Amino acid sequence: MTTKENKPIVMIIKENKPIVILLSCAFVFFLSFLVFINIMVVPNKKFDITLTKNTLDITGKNGVNLNLDNIIELNLLNSAPSIILNGGGQNGNIIYGHNYMKNLGFTECYINNAKGKVIYIKTTTNQFLIGLDNNTLTQNLYNKLLSDVPSKS
């Protein structure tokens, strides 16, 4: 491959080696900065969950309002399934976003404690995993949802 001046690309790179090295370093630094911002700034905030008469409101990164009438399946799992494809993110015990989970497929995750129990919710259009700060809080939310979600029978 040659340029307009009929010099091979390899020769141009050799002649401009300091510039190529500088641009390469700048590019690596820029990518590292983007990763740092994503890990350190964006996902550190935990999710807040509010259960009202008709909705489950989740605030935080990619929050959602779930209409309780749309829930068709509700289960309490001892732990979150493993992430097969991370489309959202994980920072410590916090798992967030649209992830491909083992045995579930694509699932919206709002988990404050990845080591604890999680609530699995399937709606008419999506599925969710919700985990609060500890097992007691998660269990209490699950029990409240069981009593508030309209029966599908």
pLDDT of residue 98: 85
Query: How far is 114 from 31, CA to CA, in rounded Å?
Result: 27
pLDDT of residue 128: 95
- Residue 4 domain flag: no
pLDDT of residue 4: 55
pLDDT of residue 8: 74
Q: Do residue 99 and residue 60 come from a single domain?
A: yes
Q: Do residue 69 and residue 138 come from a single domain?
A: yes
> Do the bridges between strand 71-77 and strand 48-51 make them parallel or antiparallel, or are there none, so unpaired?
unpaired
Q: Do residue 62 and residue 26 come from a single domain?
A: no
CATH number at residue 64: 2.30.29
Q: Do residue 18 and residue 90 come from a single domain?
A: no
Q: Which residues of the chain have pLDDT under 70?
A: 1-5, 9-13, 33-45, 152-153
Cβ atoms of 61 and 108 closer than 8 Å: no
- Residue 153 domain flag: no
Q: Do residue 106 and residue 33 come from a single domain?
A: no
Query: How far is 90 from 52, CA to CA, in rounded Å?
Result: 28
Helix (H, G, I), strand (E, B) or coil at 2: strand
Burial of 138 per CB tally in 10 Å (0-12, 13-18, 19+): buried
Place of tokens 């190529």: 20
Q: Do residue 14 and residue 61 come from a single domain?
A: no
Query: What range does the domain containing 100 cover?
Result: 48-148
Q: Which residues contact 13 (CB under 8 A, 6 or more apart)?
A: 20
- DSSP class of residue 143 equals H
Q: What is the pTM (predicted TM-score) of this model?
A: 0.70
Q: How many domains does the chain have?
A: 2
